[in-house]
């Protein structure tokens, strides 16, 4: 059977979050044939963020989805392709382009920028999987409005948990913010706002052991990790924001990963594999901010362009 020659790109970007879309923007503007593969939806984590208040140049903040949609339009305007396909493998080959297998087809690319980001962590407690979409949620901006005048638990102690607790408090009658430690990683400003919100009650040193309910969430069983005291809160929703795990399965065996699964890169986002770059939340020491992810994407695309030029690809 003679297979057709796969579609060949100069730059393949994996992941259409802030880092990936910015890399694609720079790749397309360098007149490189650029594709972005996206497993889920474009925008990545930013698409589920209600208001981005720390992106420089937007004094009133900007809606995360608007930001993502603008970036998609901008990338499209300069001619990069966006394909909703799940990349299964990246294979470097000596003296040949990378081979990329997706859920739909096989492609080739002379340079690869991996920006697959990170996925939210689950609690891993009974009731969680069973009640997803019926009160258990990882996106308060999507679902909080379905629980008007009911009570909700928000789990976590970082920026995402605090942000989403504030958003959820606009819809529900009461938010119980449950955190396993005594202190919080959330920024000082977000902490001030949460502490001042009369609808939010903070429960420290406490974990969720179980989410109960038949047709929908009816309660969350909590355990104080210091006293061992157990109680069940009668809530209709549990919103979970307990950090993320990088999507580095594609890079395993290919590049060096740290203990947390982040890829080692240099300051130009280069890995030890020539032509393979990693940017955004997937790399070591990422600041995990939209602005730094976008900056990483630009750096990686410029380094990819330099790599292609040096290899004499696509010249003349």
Partner 1 sequence: MAATPEVTDATFDADVMKSDLPVLVDFWAPWCGPCRMVAPIVEELGEEYAGRVSFYKMNTDENPAIPSQYGIRSIPSLLIFSGGELKGTIVGFRPKSDLKKRLEEAIA
Q: Which residues pair with 162 in a beta bridge?
A: none
Q: Is 135 in the site for partner 1 (CB under 8 A)?
A: yes
Binding-residue total with partner 1 (CB under 8 A): 34
Query: How many residues would you count in the chain?
Result: 316
Nearer to partner 1, 68 or 303 (CB): 68
DSSP string for residues in 267-298 = TT-B-SSTTEEE-GGGBTT----HHHHHHHHH
Residue selected from 8, 63, 74, 292 as contacting partner 1 according to rule CB under 8 A: 63
Burial degree of 271 (CB within 10 A; 0-12, 13-18, 19+): buried
Of 86, 129, 142, 258, catalytic:
142
Binding to partner 1 (CB under 8 A) within 74-103 occurs at 84-86, 103
Residue 8, token pair as written in the block: 């060949």
Residue matched to tokens 């979409």: 133
Nearer to partner 1, 86 or 229 (CB): 86
Q: Is 43 in the site for partner 1 (CB under 8 A)?
A: yes
**Distances, alpha carbon 286 to alpha carbons 117, 140, 247, 256, 302, in Å:** 10, 25, 14, 15, 18
Of 66, 76, 119, 139, catalytic:
139
Q: How far is the CB of 42 from partner 1 (least distance, A)?
A: 6
Q: How far apart are CA 32 and CA 191, in angstroms?
A: 44
Q: How far apart are CA 179 and CA 154, in angstroms?
A: 9
Residue selected from 4, 95, 215, 259 as contacting partner 1 according to rule CB under 8 A: 215
Q: Among the candidate windows 20-28, 43-51, 119-127, 253-261, which touches partner 1 by CB under 8 A?
A: 43-51
Residue selected from 49, 115, 168, 248 as contacting partner 1 according to rule CB under 8 A: 49
- The three-point CA angle 32-2-101 to 5° equals 45
Q: Among the candidate windows 53-61, 65-73, 271-279, 304-312, which touches partner 1 by CB under 8 A?
A: 65-73
Q: Is 50 in the site for partner 1 (CB under 8 A)?
A: yes
Q: How far apart are CA 265 and CA 278, in angstroms?
A: 7
Of 143, 163, 281, 296, catalytic:
143
Is 294 among the residues known to form the active site?
Answer: no
Residue selected from 141, 168, 247, 299 as contacting partner 1 according to rule CB under 8 A: 141
Q: Is 247 in the site for partner 1 (CB under 8 A)?
A: no
Q: Is 216 in the site for partner 1 (CB under 8 A)?
A: yes
Helix (H, G, I), strand (E, B) or coil at 82: strand
Q: Is 41 in the site for partner 1 (CB under 8 A)?
A: yes
What are the phi and psi torsion angles at 293 (to 5°)? -65, -45
Q: How far is the CB of 175 from partner 1 (least distance, A)?
A: 17
Q: Is 232 in the site for partner 1 (CB under 8 A)?
A: no
55-84: buried (b, 16+ CB within 10 Å) or exposed (e) per residue?
beeeeeebbbbebbeebbebbeeeebbbbe
Q: Which residues pair with 306 in a beta bridge?
A: none
Catalytic center residues: 139, 142-143
Site residues, partner 1 (CB under 8 A): 39-43, 47-50, 63-65, 68-69, 84-86, 103-104, 132-135, 137-139, 141-143, 145-147, 215-216
């Amino acid at each position: 059977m003679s297979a057709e020659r796969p579609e060949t790109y100069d730059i393949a970007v994996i992941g259409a979050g802030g880092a990936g879309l910015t890399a694609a923007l720079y790749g397309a503007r360098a007149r490189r044939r650029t594709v972005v593969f996206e497993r889920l939806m474009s925008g990545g984590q930013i698409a589920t963020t209600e208001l981005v208040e720390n992106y420089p140049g937007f004094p009133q903040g900007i809606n995360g989805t608007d930001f993502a949609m603008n970036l998609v339009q901008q990338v499209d305007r300069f001619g990069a392709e966006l394909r909703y396909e799940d990349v299964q493998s990246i294979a470097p080959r000596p003296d040949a382009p990378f081979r990329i297998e997706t859920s739909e087809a096989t492609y080739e690319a002379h340079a690869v920028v991996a920006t697959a980001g990170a996925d939210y962590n689950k609690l891993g407690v009974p009731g969680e999987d069973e009640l997803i979409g019926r009160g258990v949620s990882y996106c308060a901006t999507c679902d909080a409005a379905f629980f008007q005048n009911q009570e909700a638990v928000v789990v976590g102690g970082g920026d995402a948990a605090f942000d989403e607790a504030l958003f959820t408090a606009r819809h529900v009658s009461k938010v119980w913010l449950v955190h396993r430690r005594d202190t919080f990683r959330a920024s000082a400003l977000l902490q001030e706002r949460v502490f001042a919100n009369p609808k939010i009650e903070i429960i420290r040193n406490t974990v969720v052991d179980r989410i109960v309910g038949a047709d929908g969430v009816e309660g969350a069983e909590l355990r104080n990790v210091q006293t061992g005291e157990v109680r069940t809160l009668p809530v209709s929703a549990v919103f979970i924001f307990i950090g993320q795990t990088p999507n580095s399965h594609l890079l395993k065996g290919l590049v060096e990963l740290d203990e947390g699964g982040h890829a080692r890169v240099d300051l130009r986002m280069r890995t030890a594999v020539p032509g393979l770059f990693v940017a955004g939340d997937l790399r070591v020491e990422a600041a995990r901010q939209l602005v730094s992810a976008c900056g990483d994407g630009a750096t990686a695309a410029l380094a990819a362009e330099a790599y292609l030029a040096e290899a004499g690809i696509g010249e003349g």
